Structure 1
Amino acid sequence: MKTMFSTANMLSAIERGECFNGTSESGHFSLRINSYAPCIAVVEEASLSFSEHEDSASSLTEMVASLPIVFTLHGTKETRDGALATIAQAVWLKLKAQFQTIPVYVLSSTPHCDSEVANYHIGTQYLDKRRAKKSLSHLKTQLSAIKLPNLDTLVSASNVGALYEADDWLKSLESAVIFCLHLPCVYRDANTGTIFPIVKEAFEMGLRSVLSSHSAELVSPQAMRRKTSYNKLLSEGLPPGLIAVDLALFRLAKGVNTLSYINPINVKAEKRRFLAKPWCYSPVFKYRQLDLDPYAFREKLYRLPLERIEDPAIRALYRRTIDQLAVRIDLLSQIGTEDFLYNSLRYYGQPSEVDINNARFILHSHSEQSDDSLVMFDAKQAIDKFKTYCDFHHLKCQVAANDKLVAKALVGGERLKVNRRQQFSALDIRSLQAHELGVHMLTTLNAKQQPLRIFQLGLPGNTHTQEGLAILAEYLSDSCSIERLKVLALRVIAVNMMVNGHRFAETYQCLHEEHGASPDNAFTVTTRAYRGGGFTKDYLYLNGVKEAFQRYQTEDLASLFVGKTAFEYKPVIDELLQRQIVMPPHIAPWVLSPPEHEDPIVRFLLRSLK
C-alpha cells in the first residue's frame, strides 16, 4: 500500500533528492521516484478501467514501475488540484539542474478488440516535429520490434485524433519532449477483462525496454558525458518484494543437487563386471533414493508470489528458473525409468547435427602425448596440489577424497571431491584446477556473496554456460590438450548414440574400437551418458566451449562469474550490476587472463567449430 504524502512532505523529499513512492493527500495522483534520472512516465489511470473487478497488477503503472519517475493520475483532469502542478514543477526543476533534455511519456490504454494486430499510436501534438524527427523514428522502430505471441505489430504516429489530451501542468513544463503513447491492451480480453499472462509478460518487458532505451538516446550530450545509459534509467537497488521471493525460492530448492542423485552408487562393481564381458553384460546401476516429494515440491514452486516482483525482466527470470526447477524435479523423480531420458531431453536438449559434425571434426585431428601426461600422481598427492592452488587464489573451500565418483574430480557445494581410485597426470591437475576450482568453485563462492540467492541455485541454461567457461578456462591456462577436446567430442558421440537407442555395449565398442578410447575412458564416457536412464548433459561441454570461446574474442565475460549464470542472461546480469541489484564478482575470475603459451592446434580447432 502506498504511503499518503502531503504536498509539503513531497516537496521536501524532492528538494533533498530522496526517492519515495506515495499518493497525494487528495488522492488525485501518485508519484514514484526511483532515481532522479531523465525519464518521466505519466500514466492516465482513467483510461485503464475495464470493470469493477479491475486487476491492479495489470495496470500500466505496475508495468513501468522500474522507470526513474512515474506519475499516476487518478480521476479526470477537471478534478485534479493544483498540488499536482506544484509537485511536477519541483521534479522538473530538480532534473533540469542536471539534464538539458528530459523525455516524458504519457501512457494511455483502452480495451483492444483486434485479436491479430497490436496497434501502437504515438501522439505527436506536443513535439517539435523538426527537432524530434529522429527520435520519433527511433521510437516507432523500437515499438515495432516488440514481439508478442501470435500478434503482428502496427505503429502509427499523428497529431490528429490523439487519444490523450495532456493536462495544463504537463504542457507548461519548459522544453519537455512529450510523447503521447496509446498502447494496445492486448494482454487482456476486451469483453471479460481476462488476463493473458504470457502476452502480458512480453508486453511488459517490451514496453520497459523501449522506454528505457529510447529515453537514454534522447538525453543531452552533457548527460551522455555522465555516462547516462539504458541501465542507468532503471531503478537502482533491490526492488520491493524481490528479497522475500528470492529467499523463499532458495529455501525450497537449495537441496536439489542433480548429480548427487544421478551418479550411480555401484559404479565400481559394475565397471568390473562389464569389462570382464563387454559384449555380454549390460551394467545395472543403482542410485541414491530421492528424499523429497516431487509433487509437493512442484506445488510449492508454483505458489511462490512472483507478482510481488515489480520489475518485469527480473520477474521473467524467476519464472524461467522455477520452470526449469520443475523440470529438474521431473528428471530426478524418474531416475532409472524410461521417462528419465524424456525429461533429460526437456532439461538439457540433445546434440544437433552441427554438434555431431564438430565432434567428428575433432576426433579426426592428430594428437601426441604430452610430457605432462607421463608423470602420474595418486589422489593424495593431487589433493595436496589442489589445496595449494586454493590457498594461492584465496578459495575458502574443502578438498577431500571420494569413493563414489565417476569423474576424476568435481565440485559439490563448497567442497572439491577427488576420486580416490584415479591417477592424475600433471596436465590433469592443471586442467582440474582451472575447470573445477577456477570456474565451478569460484562461481559457487561468488554466488554466496550475492544479495540474490538465485545465483546459487543457477539460472536457466547455467549448465551449458558453466561447462563452456570451465573448458575455456582450461584453454586459457594452457591445460586444454587435443586429447581433452577429443574426450568432449566422445561425449557428444556417446550421447547421440544413447538418444538414438544404441545399447551401452554398442556405444562402448564404438568409442573404444572406432575412436581409440582406452577401456577405462570408453567405460567412463559411456557411463556418463547412460546413467539415470539416459543423461544428455555431456554434449553441452563441447557446445558450451564453442560459445564461450567465440564470446571471449569479442566481449568481457567477467560478469558471468557472479554466480551460476547463463550466456542468455548476460545482458540482464550486466543491467543488474549497473543498477546495483547484483554485486561484482567477490573474487575476480583470474582464469580469464590470456594464455601464456597458447597451443596453436587447439586454438585452430576451437576457432573451426561451427
Structure 2
Amino acid sequence: MTEEKATPVSPAPAWLDEAIGRLTDGRAVRRDFGEGGRLHIDRLVPFLCVHIAAEHQQPVARDIAQANAAYLLAPDIDTAAAIIERVGRVIEQRLGLFIVLEFGELESDEPPAKDAPFLPPFLIEVVAGARAAEQVAAKALIETAATIEGKFRTPHVTLVERPAATATGRKALALDTPHLTVRFAPIYCEPGTRRIYPQLRERLVASIFDAGLRAVAAFARAKSDSFRLPTHRAFGRKAFVDAVVRADRGIDEIASSFDFLLAVTPINAEAAWTEFASGGFSKSPRLYYRPLTLQIETAKRKLFSLNFEHLEDPLLYALYREKQQEVDLQLSMISARETRTFVEFGRALYGPVEATLHDAASEILARTAPDRDARSSAADRRDCEYIRERAQAMISAYRRQSADFSASVDIRDDLPAGLLVSRGQLLIARSSALDADRVEALLNHEIGVHLLTYFNGSAQGLRILRSGLAGYEGMQEGLAVFAEYLSAGMTIDRLRVLAARVVGCVAMLDGAPFPQTYRLLVDGHGFAATEAFNITLRIYRGGGLVKDAIYLRGLLQLLDHLAGGGTLEPFWMGKIAASHFGAIQELSLRGLLGTAALRPIFLDEVKARDRLQRAQRGLSPLDLISE
C-alpha cells in the first residue's frame, strides 16, 4: 500500500485565512493540516521555526522546531513558503522584524573508522543570507552550537552563504525574509541501523533549540532596541500544550498516591524505646511499619506509561523526566523497606554524605556542648494540644492571605515525637513536647515553608511544583531550618541535632548497627539518652535512611546561596532546589509562572529582615546561634 502524499496548501486556504485573522488580533494559533502539518504560534514573536518533511524521518529536527513558541511543520517546500509569506507579513507589520529558522538533518553521519585513534567532529551546517542582521544571528548560533558535545564528538560548524548549494543538495526554501537554515549530522542514530541513542537525542534537541533562541535574540538586538530581554530564553513558550497538562496530572496522581515518609516511619516509637532501654541499649529495637496499600508494580507501570514525547518543550521535558526517575526511586525504596537494599536506594536518592558535609557536622559538635542551662522544666514545655492550637492560629493567618490555604492539623498516635507535613496536612505526634520558645520557630519550619510552598506550588498551575521538582528536599529542609533562625528559634541544641544526624548517617552507611550509632551520640557527643535514641531511630527507619543528612547540607547550600547574592523569593513559588533557579526564572519570564500567592509571615518581622541581611553578608551555621 503506497503512502498518500500530502496535497500542497494553496496560497490562501480557508484555515490559513482564519489563522492569519487570529494572529492579526494578537491571538494564539494552533492548527493541524495536511499530512502531519501544523502551525503553532502561542503569541507574537519575531520568528518562526520551520521543519519541512523529508524523504527520511528527521525526528530531532522536528522536535527542535516544535519546541519553540512559534513553529511550522510543513509537508513540502511550496506549502511552507506560502504559509511563511503570510505569517511573516503580519509579524513584520506588528513587531517590525521577522526571521525564519529552518531546522533539518543531513542525510547521514560519517561514522568513525573502527580503528580510528579519536572520534572525528560531526557536521553542523548553517546557511545564511548576506544581510547584516542575518549574519549576526548566524554568528550567535554558531558560537553556541560549537559548544555542543555529542557522544564524545565535538561539532564542526560551517557557515554557507545563501544561495550557495547546501551539503544536502536538496531543493532550498526560497524566501525574501531573513532566513537561517540549520542542518546537522544525525549522530543520535546508531550508524547503519537508525536506532536511537535517547540521551543523545535529548541533548541535541536541548542544545540546538537553545542555539536557535540565541540566534533570534541576537537578530532582534541587531534590528531593534525594543527587544532587549533579560535572557534569550524569554522567547520560549508562554502556553502549555495539552500534553503538558496530562503529564503533570499523571505524575502528580502517582506521587500523591503514597506518602513516602509515612511509609518508612515506624509506628511504635515509644514501645521501641522501652524495648531498647530495657535491653541495656545493646540490641536493635524491633520497628513496625504501616501495612502498604500501594501496589508498587502497578504504580511503576503507570509512572512509565506517562508520555513526555509530546510536551514540545525541552525544559519541561527535562523537569518531568527527572521527577519520574525520583518517584521511581521512592517506590523502589518503599518496596525494599526493611531489606538490605533499602539503604542503597536511599543513597541513590539523597546522595552519599560528602566529606565536606561530614567535616562541617563534626566541627559543630566539636565546638559546642549541650546547653544544659537551656533545659526547660516540664512546666516550660508545650504539649501536642498547645502546638495544635498555635498551628491553627498560624494557618488562619495564612488563610487571610489566600482562601486557598486549606491546610489542616491532625494529632496522631502512630508517629515518633515531633511534627510532620504530609501534602496539605500538618501531623503532630501525641507524644510531642516542645520548649515554649521553640514552638513558633518549628511551626514556621513546617507551616511557613513546607505547607506554604505546597499551596503556592498548587496555585502555579503545574502540580509538579507542589509535589516538588526532583531533588528539592535538601534545599527545602535547609530553607525550613533557616526559617527557624529568622524566627529567633535556632538554638545550640537544635544545631547539634542537625549535625548529629549527619554523623549518625555516616556511621550507618559505614555499617554500624543501631546500638553502636546510639552510643556514638551519647558517649562521643554528649547527647541525652532519649534524644540520641530519637536521632538514631530516624536514621535507621525503613532499613537505613540517609535523608536526615540533607538538613545541614541544605542549610549550608542556602547560606552559600545568600552570601553569593541569591535571594529567597524563587523558593516561595513551589518546592524547588537551587539547581532549578534557572528553570524557574525562565518559566517566569515566559509567563508560565506567576508570583507566589503566599509570603511567609515570619518575614514581616523587622528582626527577621535584619537576620536575613546578616546572612546575605555571609554566615556559617555556628553564627546562627550567636544571638
TM-score, normalising length: structure 2: 0.86
Equivalent position to 1:326, from 322, 325, 328? 328
In 2: Cα distance, 1:71 partner to 1:14 partner? 14
Which residue is equivalent to 1:316?
318
Sort the Cα spacing of 1:102 and 1:589 in 2 relative to 1 into closer, same or farther, 3 A.
Answer: farther
1:376 aligns with 2:360: no
In 1: Cα distance, 2:135 partner to 2:247 partner? 43
Q: How many Å apart are 1:284 and its aligned residue?
A: 1.3
Q: Is the 8 A contact 2:67 2:313 kept in 1?
A: yes
Which residue is equivalent to 1:35?
43
Q: Is the 8 A contact 2:477 2:555 kept in 1?
A: yes
Sort the Cα spacing of 1:33 and 1:85 in 2 relative to 1 into closer, same or farther, 3 A.
Answer: same
CA deviations 1:436-481 (Å, max 9, x no partner) are: 0111111122233232222233221021121121112222222223
CA deviations 1:550-604 (Å, max 9, x no partner) are: 2234223323333332322222222223333334322124456672564989974
Which residue is equivalent to 1:299?
301
1:45 aligns with 2:41: no
Letter in 2 for 1:315: Y
Q: How many Å apart are 1:515 and its aligned residue?
A: 1.0
When structure 1 is superposed on structure 2, of 320-329 and 385-394 the one drifting more is 385-394
Q: Is the 8 A contact 2:450 2:480 kept in 1?
A: yes
Letter in 1 for 2:88: W
Which residue is equivalent to 1:88?
84
When structure 1 is superposed on structure 2, of 84-93 and 344-353 the one drifting more is 84-93
Sort the Cα spacing of 1:146 and 1:372 in 2 relative to 1 into closer, same or farther, 3 A.
Answer: farther
1:121 aligns with 2:134: no
Letter in 1 for 2:418: K
In 1: Cα distance, 2:367 partner to 2:610 partner? 20
Q: How many Å apart are 1:6 and its aligned residue?
A: 4.0
In 1: Cα distance, 2:110 partner to 2:470 partner? 35
In 2: Cα distance, 1:597 partner to 1:88 partner? 56
Sort the Cα spacing of 1:92 and 1:515 in 2 relative to 1 into closer, same or farther, 3 A.
Answer: same
Q: How many Å apart are 1:5 and its aligned residue?
A: 5.0
SS at 1:180 equivalent:
strand
1:249 aligns with 2:251: yes
SS at 1:306 equivalent:
coil
Q: Is the 8 A contact 1:373 1:426 kept in 2?
A: no
SS at 1:491 equivalent:
helix
Sort the Cα spacing of 1:232 and 1:5 in 2 relative to 1 into closer, same or farther, 3 A.
Answer: farther
Which residue is equivalent to 1:189?
190
Which residue is equivalent to 1:163?
167
Structure 1: runs of 5+ lacking an equivalent = none
In 1: Cα distance, 2:455 partner to 2:553 partner? 25
Q: Is the 8 A contact 2:105 2:183 kept in 1?
A: yes
When structure 1 is superposed on structure 2, of 388-397 and 192-201 the one drifting more is 388-397
Which residue is equivalent to 2:75?
74
In 1: Cα distance, 2:230 partner to 2:146 partner? 24
In 2: Cα distance, 1:14 partner to 1:356 partner? 58
Sort the Cα spacing of 1:151 and 1:235 in 2 relative to 1 into closer, same or farther, 3 A.
Answer: same
Q: How many Å apart are 1:271 and its aligned residue?
A: 0.6
SS at 1:307 equivalent:
coil
Q: Is the 8 A contact 2:136 2:219 kept in 1?
A: no
Equivalent position to 1:595, from 586, 594, 608? 608
Q: Is the 8 A contact 2:421 2:427 kept in 1?
A: yes
Sort the Cα spacing of 1:117 and 1:179 in 2 relative to 1 into closer, same or farther, 3 A.
Answer: farther
1:20 aligns with 2:29: yes
CA deviations 1:63-91 (Å, max 9, x no partner) are: 2213232233433x5xx26xx55543333
Which residue is equivalent to 1:359?
361
1:571-582 alignment to 2 at 5 Å?
571-582=582-593
Sort the Cα spacing of 1:571 and 1:161 in 2 relative to 1 into closer, same or farther, 3 A.
Answer: same
In 2: Cα distance, 1:415 partner to 1:289 partner? 21
In 2: Cα distance, 1:389 partner to 1:359 partner? 32
Sort the Cα spacing of 1:372 and 1:430 in 2 relative to 1 into closer, same or farther, 3 A.
Answer: farther
In 2: Cα distance, 1:444 partner to 1:155 partner? 46
Equivalent position to 2:484, from 470, 474, 479? 474
In 1: Cα distance, 2:218 partner to 2:459 partner? 34
SS at 1:308 equivalent:
coil
In 1: Cα distance, 2:99 partner to 2:504 partner? 57
Which residue is equivalent to 1:462?
472
Sort the Cα spacing of 1:102 and 1:299 in 2 relative to 1 into closer, same or farther, 3 A.
Answer: same
Letter in 2 for 1:293: Q
Q: How many Å apart are 1:201 and its aligned residue?
A: 1.1
Which residue is equivalent to 1:260?
262
In 1: Cα distance, 2:191 partner to 2:98 partner? 34
1:206 aligns with 2:211: no
1:97-246 alignment to 2 at 5 Å?
97-110=93-106, 111-114=108-111, 116-117=119-120, 119-128=122-131, 135-159=137-161, 162-163=166-167, 170-173=174-177, 176=178, 178-220=179-221, 222-224=224-226, 227=229, 229-246=231-248
Q: Is the 8 A contact 1:362 1:605 kept in 2?
A: no
Which residue is equivalent to 2:116?
none
Q: Is the 8 A contact 2:500 2:521 kept in 1?
A: yes
Which residue is equivalent to 1:271?
273
Q: Is the 8 A contact 1:270 1:283 kept in 2?
A: yes
Quote the sequence identity (%).
22
When structure 1 is superposed on structure 2, of 568-577 and 361-370 the one drifting more is 361-370
In 2: Cα distance, 1:345 partner to 1:320 partner? 17
Sort the Cα spacing of 1:29 and 1:284 in 2 relative to 1 into closer, same or farther, 3 A.
Answer: closer
Letter in 1 for 2:361: A
SS at 1:220 equivalent:
helix
Structure 2: runs of 5+ lacking an equivalent = 1-5, 113-118, 400-404
In 2: Cα distance, 1:380 partner to 1:29 partner? 63
Which residue is equivalent to 1:586?
597
SS at 1:501 equivalent:
coil
Equivalent position to 1:441, from 447, 451, 454? 451
CA deviations 1:221-263 (Å, max 9, x no partner) are: 8554674742331121222311122222222331221111111
Sort the Cα spacing of 1:197 and 1:377 in 2 relative to 1 into closer, same or farther, 3 A.
Answer: same
Which residue is equivalent to 1:428?
438
CA deviations 1:248-303 (Å, max 9, x no partner) are: 22223312211111111111111112123444222111111111222222122111
When structure 1 is superposed on structure 2, of 529-538 and 597-606 the one drifting more is 597-606
1:565 aligns with 2:568: no
SS at 2:194 equivalent:
coil
Letter in 1 for 2:435: S
